[in-house]
Amino acid sequence: MDTLADIAIGTATAVFIAAGVAYLGITAPLWGTALLASSISYGVAKYYEDDIGKLKDSIISGF
């Protein structure tokens, strides 16, 4: 009986670990893509911050 319980526990553990790895494997690229996109857009916004400020000022002064 002990061996059967050990096999069941071992199998359950292996399945749980495999499911966790698969979940991370599926979601990690999504998180990575989201982080990359947000950091790129932040970098672009920072790079063009002065131009955006000038554009805003010209739009505000235009109205």
**Rounded Cα gap, residues 16 and 10, in angstroms:** 10
In tens, the pLDDT along 1-44 reads 678 888 888 898 988 888 888 887 888 788 788 888 888 888 88
pLDDT of residue 31: 78
In tens, the pLDDT along 47-59 reads 787 777 777 777 7
Asked if residues 45 and 52 have their Cβ atoms less than 8 Å apart, the reply is: yes
**Rounded Cα gap, residues 62 and 57, in angstroms:** 8
pLDDT of residue 63: 58
pLDDT of residue 48: 80
In tens, the pLDDT along 29-38 reads 887 888 888 8
- The one-letter code for the residue type at 56 is K
